A and B are shown apart, each in its own frame.
Chain A
Amino acid sequence: MTVPIVIASRPRDKVHVPTVTLAHGGGGKAMKDLIDDVFVETFDNPLLAALDDQARPELAEFARLGDRVAFTTDSFVVDPLIFPGGDIGKLAVCGTVNDLAVGGAIPLYLSCGFIIEEGVSIDLLRRIARSMAAAAREAGVQIVTGDTKVVNKSACDKMFITTAGIGAIPPDLRLDVGRVRADDLVLVNGLLGDHGAAILAARGDLALEAPIASDCACLAGLIAALLTAAPDTRFIRDPTRGGIATVLNEIAQAARVAIEIEETATPLREEVRAFCEILGLDPLYLANEGKIVAVVPPEQAQQAIAAMREHPLGRAAGIVGRVTSGQPGRVTMQTILGGSRIVDMLVGEQMPRIC
């Protein structure tokens, strides 16, 4: 009697070891199982499921949405991997989406490359992947191609993620730092410094208990609302590493303008303010992962703020300063006392005060 050979479909949960090993990066069966189980299953889209050497979205899709392609890349090496408000995966997706969105692009597709230190827990990897999938779903993007490498112990710090993102820029949009001019107003969408403070607190070096969560979020929706309300917006950038001070200096230098901000108008969460006070850190230099700096013409500022405040990520939106015809490249701040001081580019890293 012949027994029919039933080829069962592959079981969902394919990886049965607790930690990542060099085999998982070796290109063989272990790696395929890891990719299927952790990534393909989780990111769940047909372009990725094909698992070709490249993803092949239709050109027509881009042409339908815009007349230019926006293309960006970023690497994520944050420590700790998981922190209040997010994790390295969420950060990777949001950071890449935001880099596209601040250029006015509709974000469409992401790639992600993982470099994983052997010994990392598979459950941790699954958790990070799920977090990325959730962030991607919320942002309306798909992760369609990727790469996985596993390195020896200590050859990298647990996990590094490199992404690239691609989107389409609608035809009439001309966001360009060169358009920034005197009398333009500088807006932000909320409280500053959350991410930087959250990461420092989460590292645990400080023996400080600080209930601060990262503001990590995808800003494409907020930016779309802003651009609808204020179509002549000159320029948008997200103040990540180096904080708002760095972005303002970049704008001032690139546009050859002066920018003046008001200390009373730079919104901070009470806990972040206290955190900075104790350590002697300047919140203007702390990273943000859910914030934008937008330069808008004065006559569109009110509707820009109103539109942002309608959006969950912009409830505390406001004007922080303005572009002036002062010394080009210079950023100054009116202190709460009424004095004035320069807000310079950060040199090296911020070091907490000694005494």
Chain B
Amino acid sequence: MKYVDEYRDPVKARALVHEIETLASSIKTSADRPIQIMEVCGGHTHSIFRYGIEGMLPKSVELVHGPGCPVCVLPMGRVDDCVAIAERPEVIFTTFGDAMRVPGSRKSLLQAKAEGADIRMVYSPMDALALARRNPTREVVFFGIGFETTIPSTALTVLQAEREGIKNFSVFCNHITIVPTIKAILDSPDLHLDGFLGPGHVSMVIGTAPYEFIARFYGKPMVVAGFEPLDILQSIWMVLKQIKESRSEIENQYARVVPTQGNARALRALARVYELREFFEWRGLGSIDHSGVKLRAAYARFDAERKFAVPNAKMADPKSCQCGEVLKGVIKPWQCKVFGTACTPETPLGALMVSSEGACAAYYQYGGVRGQRTEPVAEARAV
């Protein structure tokens, strides 16, 4: 069993779609609108578009693309901070690929690289640490982005650096946590979501217990979903089943990867190295309490924010940018005024058009509009 092909079986997919159609048609919605399920995680958004799943669902089920893309929610000011650090001659700035394209107020990291800053793409924080070992006269900074999926690997890298006594390595920490994100969505007055597909890999770290509040206090069903097409289709079916049976529970479709209690070792490393920030700035969503993490005082020497002076300016998004509304799922990407015109992957105004997991980039690439609408533009819901 390779866990790939089996979960892409077209025969089983068609059967699941049929079940979804049957189930959806038996659910009476209170208002005259489709059942709205939000997939929180950008990886799900990517998968949904890549396989054309949205087009396979009945019109009575609508997928709303959520803000679970760590690159998409990077505020411009934070990118400016990265550029400021990277432009220092002693620094080797290391980052995951996608983040290099996000526009800052003056330039992106990719542009800074073209202008001579030593910025290198790495595949893991351990690569950055290896660079630090090999270049003892340079300061290596790792741009830590991602939800709980990637926090443990950064934490373990910091612990490794501590063990080896490495002095020229630090992390510019932009790690964020998923629970406040979901809570901000649930508290948003613009949204009428009926259920959630929960993030698969974040849950692999934190388990399913942290989501209980969604079912208990907000009364919404959530199914933690895998990333293959059958995972997503089965999870949608499971959400619909809960709605039909008037249940609101946290279910785990991705049990082959997600343990209910999460990964204890990863969580321990996370807790040892990091603590919650009081609040953190999100692109398009504003400031969210307790949504970001920072390095504890004991690890200050690995904290790039303490090591380097950064502008730390709060930059407003461009006026035409509707990233926030797309992130919250209030409007679809193609309903944004500048989608496909002023904002394209070549000339992105916002981060959602940059990241491969951003709803706008996914829609543009896979479901494209390119200035020509292929379906009628629905009225954007009143903000």
Contacts and interface: CB of A to CB of B under 8 A. Distances in A.
Contact of A338 (B10, B122, B149): B10
B8 interface: yes
A174 to B, nearest CB: 32
A123 to B, nearest CB: 26
Interface in B51-103: 51-53, 55-56, 70-71, 96-101
Given A205-B127, A337-B51, A338-B14, A354 B56 contact: no
B325 interface: no
Interface string B363-381: 0111110001000000000
Interface residues of B, number: 45
Contacts of B31: none
B98 A351 contact: yes
B139 interface: no
B123 interface: yes
A348 B97 CA distance: 11
Given A339-B53, A341-B49, A342-B368, A354 B10 contact: no
Contacts of B147: 355
Contact of B97 (A336, A344, A352): A352
Interface string B333-349: 00000000000111000
Contacts of A347: 344-346
A19 to B, nearest CB: 24
Contacts of B52: 335, 337-341
A7 interface: no
B382 interface: no
Nearest to B230: A337
B56 A338 contact: yes
Interface string B4-19: 1000101001100000
B43 interface: yes
B229 interface: yes
A352 B99 CA distance: 11
Interface in B100-140: 100-101, 110, 121-123, 127
A340 B10 CA distance: 13
Interface in A323-355: 327, 330, 335-342, 344, 347-349, 351-355
A210 to B, nearest CB: 14
A246 to B, nearest CB: 13
A355 B13 contact: no
A206 interface: yes
Contacts of B241: none
A353 B345 contact: no
Contacts of A205: 122-123, 127
Contact of A335 (B50, B100, B127): B50
A280 B13 CA distance: 22
Interface string B132-155: 000000000000011101100000
A206 B346 CA distance: 27
SS class, residues of chain A in contact with chain B: loop
B4 A354 contact: no
Contacts of A355: 43, 70, 146-147, 149-150, 201
B356 interface: yes
B357 interface: yes
A341 B50 contact: yes
Contacts of B145: 354
A272 to B, nearest CB: 14
B56 A341 contact: no
A277 interface: yes
A194 B4 CA distance: 20
Nearest to A280: B356
Contact of A341 (B4, B51, B150): B51
Interface size on A, as a range, is 20 to 34
Interface in A190-238: 205-207
Contacts of B70: 354-355
Given A354-B70, A354-B71, A354-B145, A339 B55 contact: yes
A355 B356 CA distance: 11
Interface in B141-175: 145-147, 149-150
B357 A353 contact: yes
A348 B101 contact: yes
- Scoring A207, A337, A341 by chain B CB atoms within 10 A of each residue's CB, the highest score goes to A337
A206 B71 CA distance: 21
B125 to A, nearest CB: 12
Interface string A268-298: 0000000001001000000000000000000
A274 B53 CA distance: 22
A348 B345 contact: yes
A339 B98 contact: no
B142 to A, nearest CB: 13
Given A205-B123, A351-B98, A354-B96, A339 B51 contact: yes
Given A337-B52, A339-B53, A342-B365, A206 B97 contact: no
A340 B55 contact: yes
Interface in A82-107: none
A355 to B, nearest CB: 4
Nearest to B101: A348
- Scoring A206, A277, A340, A341 by chain B CB atoms within 10 A of each residue's CB, the highest score goes to A341
A337 B229 contact: yes
Contacts of B96: 351-352, 354
A161 B153 CA distance: 41
Nearest to B48: A339
Nearest to B145: A354
Lowest 7 A-B CB distances belong to which pairs? A339-B52, A351-B97, A347-B345, A355-B149, A341-B366, A342-B368, A341-B52
28 contacts: A205-B127, A337-B229, A338-B13, A338-B14, A338-B52, A339-B52, A339-B53, A339-B55, A340-B55, A341-B51, A342-B368, A347-B346, A348-B346, A351-B98, A351-B100, A351-B121, A351-B356, A352-B96, A353-B98, A353-B356, A354-B70, A354-B71, A354-B99, A354-B146, A354-B150, A355-B43, A355-B149, A355-B150
Given A341-B366, A344-B365, 17 more contacts: A207-B123, A280-B356, A330-B368, A335-B52, A336-B8, A337-B229, A339-B56, A342-B365, A342-B367, A348-B110, A349-B97, A351-B100, A352-B123, A353-B46, A354-B99, A354-B150, A355-B43
